[in-house]
Structure 1
Amino acid sequence: MAALETTIQRAGATGNVKATREDWLKLALETLISDGVERVRVLTLGQQLDVSRSSFYWYFKSRQDLLDQLLDHWRQTNTRFIVERAARPSTTVIRGVMSIFECWVDEKLFDPRLDFAIRAWARRSPTIRRALDEADEERVTAIRGMFLRHGYEEEDAFVRARVLYFMQIGYYSLELNEPMSSRLPHVAAYLRSFTGQEPSAADVEDFSRYVAKAVSGGR
């Protein structure tokens, strides 16, 4: 979670610690992902940060305020980037789908662990269930729009968008830890299946370069 960098500052021999808002958010997000929403508790987080509860209330109105901000972070990452990639201008539908594929290979754009932490949370909360349903619909609608812009009929665009999106969500849910080196050779076949068109060698090469850069962390 690159935007939430830890900047804890320690002062003197008294052990006094000043934790920033980003520290609280980062730890809360990590806890949500690893242990679930029930473990995102002010007292527990404060103990881990070695600060008092008053530090928390300097930045947040309540635990619910913290949870709301975690949910907003999820919307502003996982959903936003899919929608942005789907709306990106593309010369061909192959290139359009490749833009969406970027979210599946770069966790800075789409964090599957965070998405499934939200899905687990949704099983406990009707409010989060509604937020999740809205996010799924927004993502599919954006992908459908990409297919429509490239001349697909309404129903065809809708079904292709659902297949592309929910196949990947299912892939994550099954925890298929298939290395990228095993998946990459099938990119042309995936593109062909999702679009009904034949990708060029340049398409595949460009996507392979993107994957290599994403896996190396942009170096």
Structure 2
Amino acid sequence: MARTTRARWVEAGLEALAQGGPDAVRVETLAARLGVTKGGFYGYFNGRPALLAEMLDEWERRCTREIIAQVDAEGGDAVERIRRAGQLSFSEGFHRIDLAVRAWARHDQSVAERLRRIDNERMEFLRAMFGTFITDADEIEARSTLAFALAIGRHFIVVDHPGYTRREAVHLAGEHLLRPPR
């Protein structure tokens, strides 16, 4: 039987995290999900805390650093780059993991500190992008905060939007934020 890779363990851990939070990330459960024995786990990880740390590393790399690097490489104006970063960052798969990390951070100070650092990186990206076409510092901060809150919070919006689907209303709000100042 082929050995289960480290990446598969991390991926299974992220999926378990998204489905049930950090308590759902259990070696025995992951092994069963992967169809392997838990012995292979210890060839890669020095226990569950090491897996959890690597899962956070993967979330940070995949959901922030790689996205910003991809958006930078693809270029375009600031509005196109903000749109692209939002589409990539908050695709359904990434968004589920991001929400799970946020819930975890409410109960774990080290996760909260890491989340704060990553959110600050994301906000700096937004500030830099909005700063290319807006000069007022208050407006840059307001738009960056609103765009970030919309990206994260859209999942929690359950209000009816007469004449619009929830997706259309969220898109409309995002486009409004990206308009040049008058």
TM-score (norm 1): 0.67
The one-letter code of the counterpart of 1:90 is G
User: What per-residue deviation string (whole Å, max 9, x for no partner) do you get for residues 55-108 of structure 1?
Assistant: 1111112211111111011101222255346656434x4334333342367446
Question: Could you list the runs of 5+ residues in structure 1 that have no partner in the other structure?
Answer: 1-9, 11-16, 199-219
Name the amino acid aligned to 1:65: A
Residue 27 (1) aligns with residue 27 (2): no
1:90 aligns with 2:76: yes
Separation in structure 2 between the aligned mates of residue 41 and residue 101 of structure 1, nearest angstrom: 31
Asked if 2 retains the 8 angstrom alpha-carbon contact of 1:83 and 1:143, the reply is: no
Inter-CA distance 175–32: structure 2 relative to 1 (3 Å threshold) = farther
Shift of 1:113: 0.5
Partner of 1:157: 140
Shift of residue 114, structure 1, vs aligned partner: 0.3
What is the CA distance between 1:31 and its match in structure 2? 0.9
Q: Paired residues, what number?
A: 177
Asked whether the equivalents of residues 150 and 174 of structure 2 are also in contact (C-alpha less than 8 Å), the reply is no
Q: Distance in 1 between matches of 2:108 and 2:62?
A: 21
Looking at secondary structure, tell me which structure has more helix per residue. 2
Report the equivalent of 1:46. 31
Is 1:143 aligned to 2:126, yes or no? yes
Alignment of 1:67 onto 2:52: yes
Query: What is the aligned partner in structure 2 of residue 79 from structure 1?
Result: 64
* Deviation string, structure 1 residues 156-206 (Cα, Å, up to 9, x no partner): 211111111112211123468x9xx94458856642x213439xxxxxxxx
The answer for the alignment partner of 1:119 in structure 2 is 102
Instruction: Structure 2 unaligned segments of length 5 or more: list them.
Output: none
1: CA distance, partners of 2:25 / 2:156: 23
In the other structure, the counterpart of 1:7 is none
Identity of aligned residues (%): 27
TM-score (norm 2): 0.79
CA RMSD of aligned residues (A): 3.1
